Amino acid sequence: MLFFMIASALWLRLFWLQVLHPDHWVTIARRQHFQMLELLPTRGDILDRRLKPLAVSIRLTSVFANPRQIKNPGTVSEKLSPILDRPAAEIEDKLSNKERGFVWLARRIPNQAAAQIRKLRLSGVEVVMEPQRVYPQGFLASHVIGFAGIDLKGLEGLELAYNHLLEGEPGWRWLSRDARRRLVGAWDAPMVAPRDGLHLVLTLDSTIQFFAERELDRAFKETRAKGGTIVVLDPRTGDVLALANRPTFDPNQIAGTTSDVRRNRAVTDTFEPGSVFKVVTAAVALAKGAVRVTDKFFCENGAYPVAGHVLHDHTAHGWLTFREVITNSSNIGTVKVAMRMGPAPIYEAMKAFGFGVSTGVEMPGEVGGVAKNPKNWSKTSITAIPIGQEVTVTAMQLAQAIAAVANNGVMMKPHVVKEIRDPNGTVVKKIQPAVVKRVIPEQIDFQLKDILTGVIAEGTGKLAVVPGYRAAGKTGTAQKVEPNGTYSHSKFMASFIGFVPVENPRLAIVVVLDEPRTFYYGGVVSAPVFSRVAADALGYLQVQEGIATTTRSQGAASAVRAGAPAGSIQRVVPQGD
């Protein structure tokens, strides 16, 4: 009877184990004898338009340990300390925590150090291959590219915006372990291969980016400016050919950098544009028929009492034609033109040129600035907004606007991603140029181009001349607003916006310097940057025009062959903004 009872109990126990709860015990057995290993994907590359690498992933070795398997943490720490170049006490502290089954000892160490650790054959200490993000060009285009963290998650720039495409998907496989929980090989059953990330091909051209970085850096240092930005677009497509900011950073060395250094000022920082905004006022005045190029305005010899305050010009002028009002950047003349129209057309033009809303360029953190509705204008707004006050913009918005003028009045959406490719290099998506809208009629645009050509030929933008080419643009010098709401008399934003060649524009360029010192006029500090970048980029692109605007006759542009060597700038006396 006793034997029958024991046999029945064993039978019931076996039935319970094998029939009623088999999965539970199989799971426990697998946990004891098998370990799942995550297979990390390779993060996709970021390349320039000519497939030059800007961000790539390499594989380095990392070291981890299971403190529960280490019997003598002190001895193990002493052996690892010289190899990892870390204090033995720091390593021992990690190995002594028996509550944890996994700790990182070092991430992404040199291959030589990894080989030394393997030779030690330390129980509980393992090495594993991990990918690391590398930026071969250093600070070049760093604000566009951004960077990824130690876990290869994008944290800023395109690394953040396109993280979902770049990071790929991890895979996994089972590894078998013996009774002592040592890895003995791969289990042939379940395995899922990792899916590597996609590659981004950008519209950036590394050579033009280098020109832009070099010249912006030169101006930033020479003027001792607080900050600076340059944006270069292809006005025909909206391609961002170059974008740089100062101060800058090397994404390979993020430690110690601040958010002030890392932020992409071209899309995150707004400022009052000053006289570069007169391009908008001029465009709407011509389009609405409020003024003709030859209409004359009395500029009050530099001081104009209006709307309860006195409006000043940087240089005293008497009678000026409308064309001369813009080329000489007269605040008084521009305001008199604006008062002919009233607030509504000016607001309409602001919105048409894309101010007050973000451009939609793919870089994170973009803001739209401020373009006030006329119902919110004060009695002095009509004397401020037409000359670039009481309105805030970004450098990217200015680039989109001047590119529209260059493109015969048609605005293109700025974009920085050209293609998306799979890990094999096959194009899976091509980003086509996108037309936003027509901003101004083509015939009006021709008139505006002619006026802006005069800004460089004979007006405030003489230092923006590009030897061998006809260029057009506008200078700007804006007083910054102090914390108490008043305009500063010592802090300025100096800017230049322009395009070249006039007949078939290939480059639209915006240069902004924040608080340049000693000299602060846009026509003095920003215009030369435009000139040098444009000259080098056009030569690199092999754009052939060979003429430069130097004189005017009866309001029509005439040109002569430029005798100055490439990159040289004629010495002129700076004037105005």
Phi, psi of 533 (to 5 degrees): -65, -45
Instruction: Report helix, strand or coil for 330.
Output: coil
**Token pair of 499 as six digits:** 């395009």
**Residue labelled with tokens 């029509």:** 556
Active site residue 275: yes
Cα gap 353→441, rounded to integer Å: 13
- The DSSP-derived string for 206-259 is HHHHHHHHHHHHHHHHHTT-SEEEEEEEETTTTEEEEEEEES---TT--TT--H
Residue 523 contacts residue 419 (beta carbons within 8 Å)? no
Its sign, for the CA torsion 248, 253, 256, 258, is positive
**Token pair of 310 as six digits:** 């006195």
Catalytic residue among 206, 275, 495, 526: 275
Work out whether strand 199-202 and strand 46-47 pair parallel, antiparallel, or are unpaired: parallel
Residue 324 contacts residue 337 (beta carbons within 8 Å)? no
Residue 476 contacts residue 464 (beta carbons within 8 Å)? no
Work out whether strand 239-246 and strand 227-234 pair parallel, antiparallel, or are unpaired: antiparallel
DSSP state of 459: S
**Amino acid letter for position 210:** F
Instruction: Report helix, strand or coil for 375.
Output: helix
Active site residues: 275
